[in-house]
Amino acid sequence: MVLDKRPRATDLGLKIGILPSGRNNTITDVPDVSVGHVTLNYGDGPLVVGQGPVRTGVTVVLPCSGNIFEKKVTGAFHIINGFGKAIGFPQVMELGVIESPIALTGTLSTWRVADGLIDYLASRNSGVQSFNPIVGECNDGFLNDIVGRHVGPQHVLEAIERAVSPNVEEGNVGAGTGMTAFGWKGGIGTSSRICNSSGKEFVVGALALTNTGDPRELRVNGFQIGEYMLPPRGKSIDDGSIMIIVATNAPVTSRQLGRLARRAVFGLGRIGGIASHGSGDFVIAFSNYQGNEFIDDDDITNLFRGVVESTEESILNSILRAETTIGRDGNVRHEIDIDKLKELINER
Amino acid sequence: MVLDKRPRATDLGLKIGILPSGRNNTITDVPDVSVGHVTLNYGDGPLVVGQGPVRTGVTVVLPCSGNIFEKKVTGAFHIINGFGKAIGFPQVMELGVIESPIALTGTLSTWRVADGLIDYLASRNSGVQSFNPIVGECNDGFLNDIVGRHVGPQHVLEAIERAVSPNVEEGNVGAGTGMTAFGWKGGIGTSSRICNSSGKEFVVGALALTNTGDPRELRVNGFQIGEYMLPPRGKSIDDGSIMIIVATNAPVTSRQLGRLARRAVFGLGRIGGIASHGSGDFVIAFSNYQGNEFIDDDDITNLFRGVVESTEESILNSILRAETTIGRDGNVRHEIDIDKLKELINER
Amino acid sequence: MVLDKRPRATDLGLKIGILPSGRNNTITDVPDVSVGHVTLNYGDGPLVVGQGPVRTGVTVVLPCSGNIFEKKVTGAFHIINGFGKAIGFPQVMELGVIESPIALTGTLSTWRVADGLIDYLASRNSGVQSFNPIVGECNDGFLNDIVGRHVGPQHVLEAIERAVSPNVEEGNVGAGTGMTAFGWKGGIGTSSRICNSSGKEFVVGALALTNTGDPRELRVNGFQIGEYMLPPRGKSIDDGSIMIIVATNAPVTSRQLGRLARRAVFGLGRIGGIASHGSGDFVIAFSNYQGNEFIDDDDITNLFRGVVESTEESILNSILRAETTIGRDGNVRHEIDIDKLKELINER
Amino acid sequence: MVLDKRPRATDLGLKIGILPSGRNNTITDVPDVSVGHVTLNYGDGPLVVGQGPVRTGVTVVLPCSGNIFEKKVTGAFHIINGFGKAIGFPQVMELGVIESPIALTGTLSTWRVADGLIDYLASRNSGVQSFNPIVGECNDGFLNDIVGRHVGPQHVLEAIERAVSPNVEEGNVGAGTGMTAFGWKGGIGTSSRICNSSGKEFVVGALALTNTGDPRELRVNGFQIGEYMLPPRGKSIDDGSIMIIVATNAPVTSRQLGRLARRAVFGLGRIGGIASHGSGDFVIAFSNYQGNEFIDDDDITNLFRGVVESTEESILNSILRAETTIGRDGNVRHEIDIDKLKELINER
């Protein structure tokens, strides 16, 4: 894979929003956060359930180093459109904490991945009898043998082991391997913002798994590119889903973090998303701040802004960085044509 | 007032989104819906609580003709940011119906306006002992003697009597008289879309009362105008609120209508909103369809799209149509400079 | 009024639950909490809207002494059955604070009472342009000229002035004047519990405005009295509503307080409530703890228990203490027959 | 197993509530509903993770005969206390339908059981790429090798195959094998009510998986038995969880069904539950009515009552029918002493 040949939004000179990015413009700019992918990409030709072709994977976000079950981080969920299978949020909403790595995968692997998180957590916390795994999912069935459920618990453990910081691979990797965004090949994207609040600087980062959007509605930094440029096969597929992970080190309570989570939808709106019927859209947010002095709500708006901007840019990066992928039954998702995109942006 | 001298988005040649507008591109394109305003605009100089200056009013949306308490319409609410005083939604959420005109006003007049709705409903429904009035509000205290609560029950009755269709006044009228949007004078705006669903055409209309937004983030059809053009007094005031009323004649259940209501946020996102801390943002939705054959959820996405697009355009119209207003203590909200705006749009 | 002739639950030897009561077994056992009533009880004969007969009032609970808008207390709401008009909770849910006295009244006076709270708050907080009044309501239209809306802003101010601690009048006083509970005369009741949590003692108090319940289902400390004893006029009226105010001085966050609020329903269940269709049942909770060291969720169950037990006993007290009332059109609500009740309890 | 030697509530002459029971007083009185259990009960002695002892199982409720994915039934969820891992409700809340058998099991087997439901659904619906499995759970770790996750997908398939009507085994069977209720051995219980609504009779049934409750608070038909009778080992264990499945054939919309679901909590309250911190309490409701003529909300209260009463009796039956069980490390849960219970009931 030569993903680094494809540009991010900043490489195209795009400046999304008004806040500065973090050092790497990734979710891992939030201190102590790391990301790991396992990509499963093999087989070609007609779909044979249980055999392939396989275009899927798993992506994990570790909210902190060390034993997350013991440390726990402040957590919140927001359901934009509930047509999805995401796991773990009743407890997060009730108790305001996340005690598990956050995993993303293809829809029908959701529960095996959750079971893999149990393997991971139980092996590190002997004697504990209850864990609340967090899994988000999008449907990669257009390219992948989704019913075959090729992601297993071992891939979860492997993704956790591989988790690194600060470099986060984007595009068709991990859970993003088989995804589609605004009709183009999508997948994983990330971004971050530096947010001033009450005189201090905090980082807000986002990581998106994108599988949503109508090609006609894609907006690149506000420019409705979908008016001028559609994927080679014009079939309008606007169902899918999006999972947005929001991370911060800002000192926020779970109530305040819920307010942050509810702002991700504005980033999705800016890029042209509308949460179509079939798009199960979820936001999973955490803060790994561990003290007990919290910001005032009066000082929270810049954190909201950081969520909006890093979400918009994460989604855009997931498209820019993804490469054309041929999947089961010869189904193709084309990468967005960067040259044409540049041309359009410069011309307007 | 010569509001008709100022253009709407379509007069500037802007085409927001991909769906066609209804005949008048107003919420009253939804059959049987009407809108009435009472504008209170008098007094000048320093604020004397209880005396003025007065820059406020009330706007009512009538979801159907005749006795709404008897007819009832399908209703739904969505709270984007709950820092607001909007009235009536527990019952709407529980029972899925709206049985009252929907009124909008300035924050501290909320309860007197609700009491005025009781006057109206009780006088037409003798013997009934319970009504659920619906009131939304934004804070017009920058221009208006808000603590003076100059809107009384009689203004509600007057606004209901004046309710007309299809012409809807926009800008600084009714509840919009004292409002601010993205740092510019805002107020009332409206728009509509024709939405195909299951082979039939339905209308989705929106009416927004705008008092939210950071000047730097305003996007006109995606173009971040706020980078090039700020209000004369650059003070960043991003708190405020927005009330969005969504109307349709589409045959949707209250559950489906709730899904529509939750899409208005995407329109707000497209124009640059982020629901800052102090912005109490609410969506009130109704369908005046009275039968019992409903669309499938599979056919609902175009209605979602109609909500997104008509919301975005309503907000934009509220700004374009509003005129410079000087209020209490000489506070000024400037109208957006249309010529400069045209220039910027043509140049880009 | 000779309310003190009628017994409370403890006077009958009933021991509700397993926790000890506070000193006075009232909501005012929570330090710094006070309660005030204004009772409007005049006129007889046929209903003439606007004239009477009047059987209504207003009850206020002050969560703390001093200026509550400046102090603010931690707040939470829970909607058991949303068929009601209660005011103020979007903001409480979003920000987790209550900044107003909490008022209770008859349904159609809700908004005038809210406006009275604005009078109160605005006069004490010059320059402030936004307040979030909290009002709960039940429907007293069976006895009262409800459409006449006889409670006005001045009664709210009067109730606030009269607020006292520790003595709380119960039965048909204040907002309880015209209410019905389980077919019997109901109204206001209160109770409290001492709750151990993390080695410290805290007080949880409840105050209920009761207007709900089917006579057949009334349970006195678990004994289904409704099998043996029904109101003289057997007409089953199970609609109505209940407002439950939960107060504590325990150091809980707004998230934790929401958990407490959600436990009041168990007290309502124990006494035989089922939240019938027409019963708009709401819980308003606050903690006037002002520090920033909070209990662990692991230590919260006893506080839950305190909510359950004090709610059950509050409802029971509201019935025991209320006296027969004849209202508009000669409508009668009978007080529960204490002698017969004692007999039944002793016999079983 | 000689479960039928132990009585149900009705065998003790207890009449819970005021509505008549269905023919068998089980959830399967709702036409077309069936229930299947697989009980895993083997091994003794000290806990060896992965080996045992095993005291667990899986219980499935089939909302209708035939292919539930194609038929779908109206569905709703209610979260009483979100400290739990129940799966599937975002989609149920968004779309108002259940498309999967409902499975109950021990906490850490939740995701393997969900995966088993995918096996079942995918094998019967070739070409479909998305399913929303529904799983509820309680923690059986006191008796069971819970970390060993002994319930696998094959047990789910087996439980579905075994699903029968009208006879429903109760007590320590299926998912109930290792559960504890109010300090006594608990497990599975069920009950039903015939509910009149708008002149027609409908059935409401409940099935509870009980693992919650403080021994001191247990109330048998209102009689607080916990004052007189505690489990042999008095250790107060009030954490646990309860899953309540509510079934009906009444013609209700998903909104109305949500209202039914929210009434189960009153049944839990009547028997002494308080949803302690650690008790993750969820309600899963369905109606298998397939037409499009729905009852009015005005006619819904009797259905609420049916939910309350059948929930209370289901929980009681789960305790009465369960037998003493010795589990891992010699941990014992004692069955409630029926003779002593009878004596107490007769004496009071």
DSSP-assigned letter for residue C299: G
For residue D299, the SS3 value is helix
Report how far residue A288's alpha carbon sits from residue B19's, in angstroms, rounded to the nearest whole number. Answer: 43
Gap between the Cα atoms of B346 and B320, Å rounded: 17
Q: Does C121 contact chain B (CB < 8 Å)?
A: no
Is A298 within a domain?
yes
The residue in chain A having the minimum alpha-carbon distance to the alpha carbon of residue D116 is: A111
Query: Can you list the positions of beta strands (E) in A43-88?
Result: 54-62, 73-81
Report if pTM > 0.90. yes
Question: Is B222 at the interface with chain A, CB within 8 A?
Answer: yes
Which helix H or strand E contains C138, and what residues bound it? strand C134-138
Q: What angle do CA B190, B196, B201 make, to 5 degrees?
A: 75
pLDDT at site C53: 98
- CA dist A27 and A302 (Å) reads 17
Catalytic annotation, pick one of C109, C241, C254, C318: C241
- Which are the contacts of C131, defined by CB distance < 8 A and separation ≥ 6? B108, C69, C99, C100, C117, C118, C121, C122, C125
Distance CA D176, CA D188 (A): 5
Using the structure block, give the residue that is written with the tokens 């039954």. Answer: A329
Chain B within 8 Å of C240 (Cβ-Cβ)? no
C-alpha B143/C-alpha A207 separation (Å) is: 42
Instruction: Check residue B133 and give left, alpha or beta (phi > 0: left; psi -120 to 50: alpha).
Output: beta
> Which residue in the block uniquely carries the two structure tokens 């001028």?
A228
Q: First vs last Cα of chain A: how many Å apart?
A: 33
Residue B1 has pLDDT above 80, yes or no: no
Which residue of A241, A256, A257, A274 to mutate against B (max B Cβ within 10 Å)? A274
8 Å CB contact between B262 and B76: no
pLDDT at residue B319 is higher than 90: yes
Structural domain contains residue D25: yes
- Asked whether the beta carbons of A203 and A197 are under 8 A apart, the reply is no
- pLDDT reported for residue C121: 98
Structure tokens at C38: 């204004």
Give the mean model confidence (pLDDT) for residues B57-61.
98
A130·D139 Cβ contact <8 A: yes
pLDDT digits (tens, 9 = 90+) for A175-227: 999 999 999 999 999 999 999 998 999 999 999 999 999 999 999 999 999 99
The reply to whether B147 touches chain D by the CB within 8 Å rule is no
Mutate to test the interface with D, among B74, B77, B94 (most CBs of D within 10 A): B94
CB spacing of C94 vs A259 below 8 angstroms: yes
Q: Is the minimum CB–CB distance between C282 and chain B shorter than 8 Å? A: yes
pLDDT digits (tens, 9 = 90+) for A258-285: 999 999 999 999 999 999 999 999 999 9
From B254, B259, B297, residue closest to D255, measured CB to CB: B254
Task: Tell me if chain D has a CB within 8 Å of the CB of B93.
Answer: no
Environment class of C96 (CB within 10 Å of its CB; exposed 0-12, middle 13-18, buried 19+): buried
Cα distance between residue D210 and residue D267, in whole Å:
13
Domain that holds residue C70: 14-338
> Residue A240: exposed, middle, or buried by beta-carbon count in 10 A (0-12, 13-18, 19+)?
buried
CB contact under 8 A, C292 and A297: no
**Which helix (H) or strand (E) element contains residue C102?**
strand C102-106
Q: How does the average pLDDT of chain C come out, rounded?
A: 95
Nearest to D297 among B95, B294, B297 (CB): B95
Q: What is the pLDDT of residues B280-298, one digit of tens each?
A: 999 999 999 999 999 999 9
What residues of chain B lie within 8 A of the CB of D255, using their CB? 96, 253-255
Interface with D, mutate which of B78, B94, B95, B255 (most D CBs under 10 A): B255
User: What CATH number is associated with residue A88?
Assistant: 3.60.70.12
Report in angstroms the alpha-carbon separations of A124 from A103, A129, A160, B89.
Answer: 17, 12, 13, 47
Q: Is D222 on the interface with C (CB under 8 A)?
A: yes
Q: What is the mean pLDDT of residues C277-303?
A: 97
Instruction: Name D39's bridge partners.
Output: D57
Distance from CA of B217 to the nearest CA of C (A): 24
Chain C residue with minimum CA distance to D312: C269
CA distance B255 to chain D (A): 7
The answer to whether residue C44 is catalytic is: no
| Cβ–Cβ under 8 Å, residues B137 and B105 | yes
pLDDT of residue C235: 52
Tokens 């919290």 map to which residue? A294
Q: Nearest-CA distance from C300 to chain D in Å? A: 6
Closest-CA distance of chain C to residue B146, Å = 7
Q: Is residue C6 in a domain?
A: no
| Record: contact A304-B277, CB cut-off 8 A | yes
Q: Quick one: which H or E segment has residue C210?
A: strand C200-210
CB-closest option in B217, B274, B278 to A263: B274
Is residue D334 one of the residues assigned to a domain? yes
Q: Identify which of B17, B272, B297 has the shortest CB distance to residue A277.
A: B297
**Please, which chains are in contact with D (at least 3 CB pairs closer than 8 A)?**
A, B, C
Active-site residue, from D279, D310, D314, D318:
D279
**Token pair for residue C138?**
């039940």
What is the rounded average pLDDT of the residues D299-326? 98
Q: Does C118 touch chain B (CB under 8 A)?
A: yes
Cα–Cα distance, C241 to C180 (Å, whole number):
9
- Residue C231, pLDDT > 50, answer yes
Residue B317: pLDDT band by 50, 70, 90 thresholds?
very high
Q: What would the pLDDT profile of D271-302 be if each residue is shown by its tens digit? A: 999 999 999 999 999 999 999 999 999 999 99
Q: What is the mean pLDDT of residues A325-344?
A: 96
D300–C308 CB contact, under 8 Å: no
What gap in Å lies between CA A311 and CA A192, rounded to an integer?
8
Whether the CB of D254 is below 8 Å from some CB of chain B: the reply is: yes
Least trusted range by pLDDT, from A204-208, B152-156, B238-242: B238-242
| DSSP three-state, residue C108 | helix
Q: Based on the number of CB atoms within 10 Å of its own CB, is C334 exposed (0-12), middle (13-18) or buried (19 or more)?
A: middle
Identify whether D3 is part of a domain: no
| pLDDT, tens only, C102-143 | 999 999 999 999 999 999 999 999 999 999 999 999 999 999
* Chain B contact present for C82, CB below 8 A: yes
> Who contacts A105 (Cβ-Cβ below 8 Å, separation ≥6)?
A56, A57, A58, A59, A113, A135, A136, A137, A151, A175
Q: Name the residue in chain C with its Cα closest to that of D275.
A: C263
Using the beta-carbon criterion (under 8 Å), do D269 and C308 form an inter-chain contact? Answer: yes
A239 touches chain D (CB under 8 A): no
C-alpha–C-alpha distance, residues C139 and C116, integer Å? 19
The question of whether C140 is a catalytic residue gets the answer no
Does residue B328 have a pLDDT over 60? yes
The ipTM is 0.96
**Structural contact between residues A270 and B273, judged by C-beta atoms closer than 8 angstroms:** no
Is position B1 within any domain? no
Whether the CB-CB separation of C138 and C240 falls below 8 Å is answered with yes
Select from A14, A241, A301, A308 the residue whose CB has the most chain B CBs within 10 Å, as the one to mutate to test that interface: A301
* CA atoms of A57 and A103, how far apart (whole Å): 10
CA D118, distance to chain mean position in Å, is: 21
Residue D26: CA count within 13 A, CB half-sphere: 19
Around Cβ C225, how many Cβ atoms within 10 Å?
A: 24
The Cα–Cα gap between D69 and C62 comes to 53
C139 touching B (Cβ < 8 Å): yes
Does the pLDDT of residue D234 top 70, yes or no? no
In the prediction, which pLDDT does C348 show? 72
- For residue A348, name the pLDDT band (cuts at 50, 70, 90): confident
Note the Cα A276 to chain centre separation in Å. 18
Q: By the 8 A CB rule, do B146 and B112 touch?
A: no
Q: What is the pLDDT of residue A237?
A: 57
Q: H or E stretch including D38?
A: strand D34-42
By Cβ distance, the residue of B219, B238, B304 closest to A275 is B304
Contact B270 A275 (CB under 8 A): no
Location of structure tokens 């309490």: D281
Closest Cα to residue A219, out of B269, C311, B217, D128?
A: B269
Tokens of D159: 């439980």
Q: CB of A339 within 8 Å of any CB in chain C?
A: no
**Which of the following is catalytic: C21, C100, C279, C287?**
C279
Query: Quick check: C3 pLDDT over 50?
Result: no
Sheet holding A73-81, edge to edge: A97-98, A73-81, A280-287, A241-248, A200-210, A188-197
Convert the pLDDT of each residue in D53-97 to its tens digit. 999 999 999 999 999 999 999 999 999 999 999 999 999 999 999
Q: How confident is the model at residue D237 (pLDDT cuts 50, 70, 90)?
A: low
pLDDT score of B109: 98
CB-nearest partner of B274 from A266, A272, A298: A266
Domain count, chain B: 1
Does residue D94 contact residue D300 with C-beta atoms inside 8 Å?
no
D84: in domain: yes
Task: Answer whether residue A2 shows pLDDT above 90.
Answer: no
Phi, psi angle pair for A189, to nearest 5°: -140, 155
Helix (H, G, I), strand (E, B) or coil at D219: coil
Give tens-digit pLDDT for B101-125.
Answer: 999 999 999 999 999 999 999 999 9
The answer to whether residue D102 sits within a structural domain is: yes
Give the nearest partner residue to A254 out of C255, C259, C293, using CB atoms. Answer: C255
Strand partners, B248: B204, B287
Beta carbons of C274 and D297 less than 8 Å apart: no
3-state secondary structure chain B: CCHHHCCCCHHHCCCCCCCCCCCCCCHHHCCCCEEEEEEEEECCCCCECCCECEEEEEEEEECCCCCHHHHCEEEEEEEEECCCCCECHHHHHHHCEECCCEEEEEHHHHHHHHHHHHHHHHHHCCCCCCCCCEEEEECCCCCCCHHHCCCCHHHHHHHHHHCECCCCCCECCHHHHHCEECCEECCEEEEEEEEEECCEEEEEEEEEEECCCCHHHCCECCECHHHCCCCCCCCCCCCCEEEEEEEECCCCCHHHHHHHHCCHHHHHHHCCCCCCCCCEEEEEEEECCCCCCCCCHHHCHHHHHHHHHHHHHHHHHHHHCCCCEECHHHCEECCCCHHHHHHHHHHC
What is the per-residue pLDDT for D3?
43
CB D88 within 8 A of CB A137: no
Q: Which two tokens stand for residue B145?
A: 């003697």
D241 flagged as catalytic: yes
Does D115 contact A118 at a Cβ distance shorter than 8 Å?
no
Non-local (6+) Cβ contacts of C30 within 8 A are C22, C192, C203, C204, C205, C247, C248, C249, C288
Is B219–A222 a contact, with Cβ atoms under 8 angstroms apart?
yes
Q: Pull the structure tokens for residue B265.
A: 């946020």
Q: Do B255 and D259 touch (CB under 8 A)?
A: no
